[in-house]
Structure 1
Amino acid sequence: MSDERSEVAEKVVTGIPKAVFVDDVDEYMKRADINESAEVALRNLEESHSKYKFMEYNLTTKKARLKTQVPDIKTSLNIVRHLQSKKDSPEDLKMHFQLSDNLYAKAKVPPTEKVCLWLGANVMLEYQLDDAEKLLQKNQEAAIASLEQVDADLGFLRDQLTTIEVNMARVYNWDVKRRQAAKGTSPAISS
């Protein structure tokens, strides 16, 4: 039970509201804000569905960005570690730099104690190799944790979408049965 509470509390922090399953459609339809109008109930459920779909799009976009960011950080971290291992070496490092998709350049780089890191938003800073390694390690851990959180949020969000879709089907079926009962015909759809 405590795991369930912590999971619900965690989801409140991420900003994804929990969808409530409509177990008793008759009771749900008697609520004051719906007034037994299936169109209003379906419109409310469709609005919630649209919000969840928007959140899903944003999380999917964030996941794609993180999936490209993590390997880039790992590559930068490996380069910094390689520079650290060669900083006391008397000979220059031979490097290949990618200038464009199909164009590479060769360069000789003297051993160094410093490296410049591209931080984004047109910002590049010079760091000591040890500081650069610490920063990249911290960024890599944060990106991996963020990717795991996005995966968990997407799983939770898919469950909420399923709940809303089931609710929509149940309300629609309730309305069909109600209309058929009003016409005096037997209902063909069961909920």
Structure 2
Amino acid sequence: MMEVEGNPRGIPAAPFVDDVAKFVPDGDYEGTLRKFQEMISKYRFMETHLLQRKAGLESKAPEIKKTLEMVLFLKSKEDSDEPIATEFELSDTLWARASIPPTKTVNLWLGANVMLEYTLDEASELLSTKLKSALTTLEQVNEDLEFLKEQITTVEVNMARVYNDDVRRRRLEKDAGGSSA
């Protein structure tokens, strides 16, 4: 098969079979179909991986945004003398009321059971960077998924063209063999 380009993140593009006879010059239709089936399997594996990644990013980005909004809210109240009255979730069905004095620091969960204390400015900067990164990555994942759909369609069309050409070739061979006997 001929070498083809890919997308910016290294997913290879599927070649389009314009002329089956030129694409399968040695007549190995079954081998070509196997290669196309293997390509589809690889594309579907990548698609499954990207769909999982997309789901994770779609749930992660709103959490980061919500946390950033809270940090910005705390930052707007840091020079005030009044405590902030709020309710927070202890578990799925249990909420508690609290009065939070103005603060200049927050603790953020970083993952892997790690929590660090940041100033409000540091936390705001960190969360803004993480949100921007998550949204950029989500956009790239969506582009990759669209690219994969196009490649899967191209390979399926190629398979149909190669299969149909093989059937046509076999009929011609059969007709030529039957008429000479």
Query: Residue 15 in 1 paired to residue 6 in 2?
Result: no
Equivalent residue number for residue 166 of structure 2:
175
Q: Which blocks of at least 5 consecutive residues in structure 1 are unaligned?
A: 1-7, 186-191
Query: How far did residue 171 of structure 1 move?
Result: 0.8
**Larger RCO (CA within 8 A; separation ≥ 6):** 2
Name the aligned partner's letter for residue 70 of structure 1.
A
Query: Residue 64 in 1 paired to residue 59 in 2?
Result: no
Look up the SS of the partner of 2:110 in the other structure.
strand
Query: How far did residue 63 of structure 1 move?
Result: 0.9
Q: Distance in 2 between matches of 1:112 and 1:82?
A: 11
Equivalent residue number for residue 179 of structure 2:
none
Q: Distance in 2 between matches of 1:102 and 1:14?
A: 43
Matches within 5 A, 1:98-177: 98-177=89-168
Matches within 5 A, 1:12-91: 13-30=8-25, 35-91=26-82
Look up the SS of the partner of 2:167 in the other structure.
helix
Q: Distance in 1 between matches of 2:27 and 2:110?
A: 56
Look up the SS of the partner of 1:91 in the other structure.
coil
> Where does structure 1 differ by over 3 angstroms across 4 or more consecutive aligned residues?
none
Equivalent residue number for residue 188 of structure 1:
none
Q: Distance in 1 between matches of 2:141 and 2:64?
A: 18
Q: Distance in 2 between matches of 1:23 and 1:104?
A: 64
Q: Distance in 1 between matches of 2:96 and 2:160?
A: 61
Per the normalisation by structure 2, the TM-score is: 0.91
Query: How far did residue 100 of structure 1 move?
Result: 2.0
Query: How far did residue 80 of structure 1 move?
Result: 0.2
Q: Distance in 2 between matches of 1:95 and 1:20?
A: 59
Query: How far did residue 66 of structure 1 move?
Result: 0.7
Look up the SS of the partner of 1:14 in the other structure.
coil
Number of residue pairs matched?
172
Per the normalisation by structure 1, the TM-score is: 0.86
Q: Distance in 2 between matches of 1:71 and 1:138?
A: 14
Cα RMSD for the two superposed structures: 1.3
1:101-153 Cα deviation digits (max 9, x unpaired): 22212111111100011111111110000010000011111111111111111
Query: How far did residue 37 of structure 1 move?
Result: 2.0
Q: Distance in 2 between matches of 1:120 and 1:61?
A: 19
Identity of aligned residues (%): 51
